[in-house]
Each structure stands twice: as C-alpha cells, then as structure tokens.
Structure 1
C-alpha cells in the first residue's frame, strides 16, 4: 500500500491524490479481506457452485447497471445542489420501476431463464430483483457522496460490504447450503453500506429534498435526458459485452468453465477495484472542474500515464505467476483458473487503464460516441464467444479474453482522439 501511494503521489498532485488515497485505503482492506477468505470459499464451494454465482451475477449486472437509467452518473455534474438532488430523486424512481419490471419479467419468463441457463438458477431467480434494487439504491447514494467528495464514507461502505458478504458466504458454506450461500452473500455485499450513505444524504440535503417539485424534476430530466437516451444503452452494451459471454460460456462449456472464469475475474479485478475504481470516482469528481477550466485533456493524459505505470507490474506478474500459484492456494481442482488468469491479464490491464477515463466522453457530451463504442464491444465480444462455442469450444474463454483486450485498446484510442480534437 505504501508503494502504491508513493507512486500515485509522484504522478498526481493536489486533492486528487488525497481523495484517491482515501478510497484506496478502504478498498484495500475490503479487497484484502476478500482475497484472504477466497481459499476458504473455494474449499467450501465447488467450481460448479461458482458457476451458478457467475450466471446469477451476469443477470443481475445486466439489469442493475441501467436501473437508475444512468441518471446517477450525472449527479456530480451540476453546479447547484438542488439540481443534483433532483437527479438523485429521479434515479431512485427509476430503480423502483426497473425492480418492479424485473420482478414481473422473472415470473413471466421463468421457463426461458431455466432453459438459457440449463437450470443453474432454478430456485434462485427470486434473488435477482432484490439484488437489482439494492444495487441501484447504493449506486445513487454513492454518486451523491462522490459529488460531496465524502470519499472516506464510501471507503467505509466498501469495508462493510466485504465483511458482510464474505462472512455470510462462509457461514452458509459451513452449513452446507451451496450454492445458495454464495448468492445470499453476494446480496448482502450489494446492500451493505446503504444505511450509512442514506444517513449522510438526508443529513446534507433534507431541506433541498423537501422543496423539490414535480415541475423541477421534469425540467432536470429534460436537461439531462441524454443520459437515459444514450448512456443507458451504452451501459447495457458495456455490461452485456462482459456478462452475456459468461452466460454463453456456462451454456456451451461442458465443464465448470464458468466457475473457473468467475474466480479468475474476481482475482484479477482486485487491483482494478483497488486503484482503478478509486481513480475513476475521483476522476469523475475532478473532471467536471477541469473541463470548465479547459484542462481536461492534459488531466486525462496524466491519469492514463499514471494508471499504466501503476497497473502494469502487478497485473502482468499475476499473469505469469498464476498458473503455478493458483493450485497451491486454492486447491488442485482450480488449476484451470491459473491458466485463464494468464490469458486474461492483458485484457484486465487495458481495462484498468481505460475504464476510469472513459467518463471523459460524458463530460464532453459525446454520449452517442460512447454508446456506439459499447455496442461495437458487445457485438465483438458476444460474437467471438458464439463463434468459439460453435467451432472452437476448447478455447472459448481464451477468445473471450482476446476480444476484451482488443475492445479496450480501441476504446482508449477513441477517448484520447476525441480529447485531442476537442
């Protein structure tokens, strides 16, 4: 952690490094708890159980990412708090509506879901609407805290998520309730932190909340309608490019490939969540100001350079060492995960560099371009997995990893090109 903070301090200046450090600290403890307990979970749950969790998370992620109609990411942008509160209220209303639609959809299409997942979610579909609701509420509250730069509070919620989710999964695992324990634990992880963030929101915006009228909500919605119009589809395409292939891999693969992939993604996402996620939130909070000052281009270049220097050594080391270390740490039956990490490391490195600065397109009102890029990624990655499933089944995850690398490289090039033209 000291090494990471020293590197960040040499690459960033001012409040940026302070805010990133706050989020890094809380996320570091959360990730440390998760990584330490993973060897316990892999001995309580089988690769097939993790495969069920992978499919469940894929459905939840596909829906929850658009549950606020992307109005939540606009909360840090307005200059006036009253406009931001209106966006927050609109986000909550969207979550309620999407949750109701999800509940109805799971009831009406239960048979189709069972067929698409080969019965992996049988008996667990009822958890999907709950996860969507908790995820949407947390996202809206988190972006309000980001607007107020309450990064220490966000860091605390990350810690409570890790403790609550992992302890629940271990408890259910020892009770022999698999794979239900993994799913309930994930639900607890999603909802943890909502109470603390809710208290912070009501404490700082109670008066503004009371004075909001329907006409004001309507006016703000029209002002920021580009987010539901374009960012919602962009977010769905982005999530679909990651999650739909997981469902397809679970469908095409004859073994517990989705379970091996689930563990590999969880391990590789740790450094990205640790640094990249924190940088992304602070970047969004700072980028609006930099854009008003005409400094967004250089600020983005500095961020990309910093992320490349910070992320390359640990992620590439993980790719080289994983085939040897994974069987020792997690058990021999998880050896396939080590090979997948080796293939997926370049993809996650490029994602680590690109994702935090992708919001530059939104700051500059280039939502259409962002949406087109995400749909390109959706077709590229889903198409690659479908072709692999039909003709190259033994290499389906490897092809999935290569398409991820290609997509994020192209995305980064477009972001930098648009800023240069700007």
Structure 2
C-alpha cells in the first residue's frame, strides 16, 4: 500500500514538472481560480453591507440581459474554437466571430435608441439611469473576452488566463468597495465595477502572447473561406446556439419573473444566494473545464475509447469535493448568511436551502456538459435545455400564481436539480457507462451526507439556540 502511494505521488510530481501535461495545466488553473475566489469570499461580507438587495436585484437584471444576448450576438461560433485542426480554419472562425459580434452590437445600439426607455420601464431598472445604455459596449467586451480566453485555452496557455483572472478580480472587488462607499451603495457601483473588470481583462488578454497573431487574423481574411467555415460549423448557430440560449433563458427566468410580482429586493436576495452558491462551481469550472475540454477533445480524436473513463473519473471527483460543502450550506444557510453578511441577507441564506443541491448537480455537470459538443451531438444539448426550461417554467409558474416566494424558489431549485441530473445521466449513457449504478451511488452519498449534517443541526440547536434557531418569518 505504501509503495503504491509513493508511486502515485512520484507520478503526480513528475506530471507537475512536465510542461503542457494535464496535471500541470490543472494545477495552474485550480490554484489561480482558488485564489481568485478566495479574494471574492473575503470581500463579499464587506460588499454585502454596502449594497442593498434592491441594488443587487437591478444589477442582476442588467447582467441577465448581457448573458441572454451573448449567444445571440456571437451565434455561438466561439464554441467551435477548439475543434479546427488547421490554424487557418481557426483564424477564420475568429474573423467570423468578430464580424458577427460587431454587427450585432451596432444593431443593438440602434434598437436601444428607439426602445430603451420602454425596456427600462418593463424591467424595473430605473435605478440604472443612462448607464443602462452601456449594454452594447459591455456585451462587446464580454464577447471579445470570452473569445480571447478560448484562444488561450486552445493554445494550452492556461497560466495567462489565471494571471488575468486573479489581477482583475482583486481590482474589481477593490473598486466595488471603494466606489460603493462613495455613492452609498448605489447600483451604479456594481455596474461600473463589472465594466472595469471586463475592460481590464480584455486588455490584459489582448496584450498577451497571442497578440503576435492578430496580424494573421487580418492578413488571412477571405470571404470565401469565411463562408466555408460558417457552413462547416453551422450546427453551432442552428442547434448549439438555440440550446445555449434556452439554457441561459431558463437560468434567468427568476430574475425576470420575480421583480414584477415580489419586487426588486427578491431578485437581489435570489441573485446574492446564487452568486455565493456558484462560487465553488465557478472556481472549479474555471480550473477544470478549460483543461478537461482541451484534453477530452484531443482524446476523442486520437483514443476515443478513453473518453468514458476520463469523464466518469472527473464526475466522481467533483461529487466527492462538493457533497459536504453543499450539504452544509443547504442546512445551515440561513445561519451563515445572517452571521457573515448581515441580517438583511438572511432570506438569501434560506434560499440556499432550496437551491443548494441544484448547485451541486451543476458542479457535477462540469464534467459532462462539454461531451455533446465534443461528440458533435448538439441536438441533444438543445433537447436537454428545452427540458430544463419547461420544468423551471412550470415550477416558477406555480409559485408565482400562489404569490409564495418560498414555494417559487423551492420548485425552481427542485426542478433544476432533477433536470440537470437527468442530462448528466444521459451524457454518461452516450458514453456507454452504467448509469443506474452511477445514479444510485450518487443519490446514496448525497442522502447520507445531508442526513448527517441535518442531525448535527438538530443536536447543536439546544446548545446554541441564539445562532441555530430558525428566525420566525413575518
């Protein structure tokens, strides 16, 4: 046993020292993402005491618009950046993405000139004022930033992405706190901080090593090649984009539906809850997905029989990493939010109890969601997201019709969990893995863990009633 453990350690150390290896790339991205997220966690209690739930709610609506328009204004062509074998074809994809993005943002600017005031009124974001009209510029930076990140991923330059992520996250959090204190927690502080983040990240990525190829993007431009590449990867705008848009729309449904019925504060509480739940998902996603997608794409081309074992291994590792933290947040969410972020955010902690395990299954999907793309089964991606949208819409509809905010988010979380788990199992089925056994193992581990955590709260409540007792609802 000791010899085997020593051998594993030696192999991992050797892989860490090997430039370009999967282990080394994963270590670089994981360490950077962890540090970046840790900065965010440490400063979040400060930010939560500066900005109100209403400010968070209005900013969430603005961000939801950016997320919804991202796929439409790129036609999802960046999703194909990892696929071309020839460099010339990849550069043509970059050219195509830039043209589509610029054209879309220009049309959006014209559209806001005509319909902007009406949109602001319908979305209840009057607090943003004229800053709402920065949407096309924010979207342009969002799209370019995403494309540059994928370019570095394709070239296996993970260290550059990590450095940019850490630097911009530190600067953004500092700006959010400083400017928020100056303007007394106005929503504009959150918007400008996000704007500053995307601008600085885009500039830093553009000034990296890939800047040497910018001339090649211009020099190799060919309308004929552009049309050929657009046709070659037509599944992305025709199938992958609708699937991605349906997913984003289903994710943002609460943002657009809660405000008219329950007010902007409810959107802020929901958004704050999800932002905290997604921190571990984002840190592992930023660390694992770029490396895994590059490795999985390469494996599927050269040794496709190894792809199932790689995917299942990652799935279980994510399950073991996430099951305990998400169980604790789900059971103790109201207490944690009240103590750490202040009493005004306690309801956001209650919402984590409804949404926590959905976030766990979202974490697990980091190891499966890219398979549809790699295997060029984009139609299943569309079907999966249509299922997710339908289940979420039904749950939200029932909750909103009863004017019960708790029931609304409970049904949203439960429906999201079931749909996400079903899609994960379908991906594993496509890889010819034993899905029934995997499902039972997953549910048993989660059930046993949450039961133990729940028992701990029941046991500790008599000892610490001031902190652990449930606060009466008005």
Fold shared, TM-score > 0.5 on shorter chain: yes
In structure 2, relative to structure 1, the CA distance for the partners of 1:307 and 1:66 (3 Å cut) is farther
The range that moved more, 210-219 or 34-43, is 210-219
CA distance in 2, matches of 1:232, 1:86: 19
> 2:128·2:187 contact (CA, 8 Å) conserved in 1?
no
2:152 paired residue number? 145
Kept in 2, the 8 Å contact 1:70–1:228? The answer is: yes
2:448 aligns to what? none
Q: Give the superposition deviation at 1:255.
A: 6.6
- Structure-2-length-normalised TM-score: 0.82
Once the two structures are superposed, the pairs formed by residues 208-247 of structure 1 within 5 Å of their partners are 209-247=218-256
Q: Distance in 2 between matches of 1:164 and 1:356?
A: 30
2:415 alignment partner in structure 1 = 403
1:30 to 29, 36, 51: 36
TM-fit CA distance, 1:55: 1.2
Q: SS of the residue aligned with 2:156?
A: coil
Q: Given that residues 160 and 192 in structure 1 are in contact (C-alpha distance below 8 angstroms), is that contact kept between their aligned partners in structure 2? A: no
1:92 aligns with 2:98: yes
Report the TM-score, using the length of structure 1 for normalisation: 0.92
In the alignment, the residues of structure 2 paired with residue 109 and residue 379 of structure 1 have an alpha-carbon distance, to the nearest angstrom, of 29
Q: Retained in 2: the 8 A contact 1:161–1:192?
A: yes
Q: 1:276–1:356: 8 Å Cα contact kept in structure 2?
A: no
* 1:52 paired residue number: 58
**Any residues of structure 2 matched to 1:219-298 within 5 Å, and which?**
219-254=228-263, 256-292=265-301, 293-294=303-304, 295-298=306-309
8 Å CA contact retained: 1:49, 1:259? yes
The corresponding residue for 2:166 is: 159
Contact 1:114 1:121 (C-alpha < 8 Å) held by counterparts? no
Larger CA deviation: 142-151 vs 112-121: 112-121
Structure 1 segments (4+ residues) deviating >6 Å: none
Q: Is the 8 A contact 2:116 2:133 kept in 1?
A: no
Is it true that 1:373 corresponds to 2:379 in the alignment?
A: no
> Which deviates further from its counterpart, 216-225 or 249-258?
249-258
**Is the Cα contact below 8 Å between 1:249 and 1:257 reproduced in 2?**
yes
User: 1:185 maps to which residue?
Assistant: 193
Out of 191, 206, 216, which is 1:198 matched to? 206
Match of 1:133 among 136, 140, 143: 140
C-alpha distance in structure 2 between counterparts of 1:134 and 1:119, whole Å:
22
Aligned residues: 413
Gaps of 5+ in 2: 1-8, 434-474
1:344 alignment partner, one of 355, 359, 365: 355
The offset of 1:384, in angstroms, is 1.9
**Aligned partners of 2:76 and 2:237 also within 8 Å:** yes
Larger mean CA deviation between 95-104 and 333-342 belongs to: 95-104
Specify the SS of the correspondent of 2:370.
helix
Correspondence for 1:19 among 16, 20, 25 = 25
Name the residue aligned to 1:388. 399
CA shift, 1:110, in A, is 2.3
RMSD: 2.1
Q: CA deviation at 1:107?
A: 2.7
- Work out which of the two has the higher radius of gyration on C-alpha atoms and give 1 or 2: 2
Contact 2:311 2:367 survives alignment (8 Å): no
How many angstroms apart in 2 are the aligned matches of 1:401 and 1:31? 24
Equivalent-residue separation in structure 2 for 1:260 and 1:216 (angstroms): 48
Query: What CA deviation, in whole Å up to 9, does each residue of 1:30-89 have, x standing for no partner?
Result: 111111111111111111111111111111111123432111121111112221111111
CA–CA distance in structure 2, aligned partners of residues 284 and 57 of structure 1: 26
Contact 1:58 1:246 in 2 (8 A): yes
User: Quick one: distance in 2 between partners of 1:122 and 1:303?
Assistant: 42
Instruction: For 1:95 and 1:306, locate their aligned partners in 2 and report how far apart those are by CA, in whole Å.
Output: 37
SS in 2 for 1:76: coil
**Structure 1 match to 2:365:** 354
Gaps of 5+ in 1: 1-5
| CA displacement at 1:211 relative to structure 2 | 2.4
Other structure's SS at 1:415 match: helix
